[in-house]
């Protein structure tokens, strides 16, 4: 099963400053993971194009996009306490969103069974009109909005350790997009309560599964099997997009979850069953330990190619089972099943 792989040198030009966790070395670690001999033969490169103004404006207002572009044009600056733009950041952001669109277009041509976009800056914290949490443009939301405009129904599964408040906000009242997040709680940005289930026509199309520090892979798989699968089956998506943050790995320096690279492979394999081959897009979000990034990238690419690269035992024994049951109970109690 061939896996499309989209990346671009422009992503290295997004410079965040000394000591910032979201640094160019992250991309090189991902590329190193993709270059492993067990993975590389199955990858088909995709040359990204920049997202157009119209494509970006499906998600972000023109004035907000203009502000970020102008800031980069004048050398960069700070967009919020954690989020920095440099002279190369706007082009990187255009290309990051465009890489996701390019991968979707290649999948629609039948070029591969799945696609992985190795992009930065990440996107899932970016709201319609606020860059935050290291994120400028909501890359996944731009791709999902493009698919929705073509009549598709999209499920987004976000397994970054941080809740994707930006992606959630973009589609909170949209019944055509099901947003699901498994994330550490409590943690930045403080959103992602089980009570956040959507609004207006979108009620029941946001599913949050907040998990305690120390949660292991067995709990993630239980959440997928007992909560995610029933909700997705009811929604009946035609496309799957995974916001693949690898900061839930036990080695990550800024979170407290306890996943392994092998766990990410198994979780991804389970999620791939949600839609047919050729309709699966994986987009890099967080992950700040370089070796964990290498291992997780290789593991997930192996899963997408239907190859097992890391025969690690599923991590188990951590907390979190009660949190999964609480989510199930809440959805039953409120008639959301």
Choose, from 8, 125, 162, 249, the residue flagged as catalytic: 125
Residue of 106, 125, 137 lying closest to 165 (CA atoms): 125
State how far the Cα of 113 lies from the Cα of 96, in Å rounded to an integer: 21
Q: Which residue has the tokens 């995974």?
A: 242
- The tokens for 286 are 């967080």
Q: What DSSP assignment string belongs to 271-330? A: HHTTS-TT-EEEEE-----HHHHHHHHHHHHHHHTT-----PPPP---S-HHHHHHHHHH
**125 is annotated as an active-site residue:** yes
Under a CB-based contact definition with an 8 Å cutoff, are residues 305 and 1 in contact? Answer: yes
Strands (E), 83-175: 83-86, 114-117, 154-158
3-state secondary structure of 122: coil
- 211 bridge partner residues: 184
Contact 124, 135 (CB under 8 A): yes
Give CA–CA dist 140/283, Å, rounded. Answer: 7
Q: What 3-state DSSP class applies to 195?
A: coil
Catalytic residues: 125
């Amino acid at each position: 099963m061939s896996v499309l792989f989209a990346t671009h040198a422009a992503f290295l030009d997004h410079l965040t400053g000394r000591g910032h966790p979201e640094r160019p070395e992250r991309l090189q670690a991902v590329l190193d993971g993709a270059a492993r001999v067990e993975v590389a033969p199955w990858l088909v490169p995709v040359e990204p194009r920049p997202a157009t103004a119209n494509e970006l404006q499906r998600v972000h207002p023109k004035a907000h996009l203009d502000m970020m572009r102008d800031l980069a044009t004048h050398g960069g600056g700070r967009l919020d306490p954690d989020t920095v733009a440099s002279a190369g950041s706007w082009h990187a952001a255009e290309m990051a969103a465009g890489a996701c669109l390019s991968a979707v277009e290649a999948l629609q041509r039948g070029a591969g069974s799945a696609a992985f976009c190795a992009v930065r800056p990440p996107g899932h914290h970016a709201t319609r009109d606020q860059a935050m949490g290291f994120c400028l443009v909501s890359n996944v939301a731009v791709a999902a909005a493009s698919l929705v405009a073509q009549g598709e129904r999209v499920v987004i599964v976000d397994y970054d350790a941080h809740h994707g408040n930006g992606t959630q906000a973009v589609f909170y009242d949209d019944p055509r997009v099901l947003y699901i997040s498994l994330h550490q709680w409590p943690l930045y940005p403080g959103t992602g309560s089980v009570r956040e289930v959507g609004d207006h026509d979108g009620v029941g199309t946001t599913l949050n599964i907040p998990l305690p520090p120390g949660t292991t892979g067995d709990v993630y798989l239980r959440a997928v099997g007992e909560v995610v699968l029933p909700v997705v089956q009811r929604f009946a998506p035609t496309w799957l997009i995974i916001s693949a943050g690898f900061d839930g790995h036990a080695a990550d320096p800024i979170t407290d979850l306890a996943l392994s690279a092998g766990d990410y492979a198994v979780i991804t394999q389970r999620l791939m069953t949600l839609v047919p081959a050729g309709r699966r897009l994986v987009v890099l979000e967080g992950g700040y330990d370089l070796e964990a990034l290498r291992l997780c990238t290789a593991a997930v690419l192996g899963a997408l190619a239907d190859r097992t690269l890391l025969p690690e035992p599923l991590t188990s024994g951590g907390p979190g089972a009660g949190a999964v049951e609480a989510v199930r109970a809440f959805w039953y109690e409120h008639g959301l099943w």
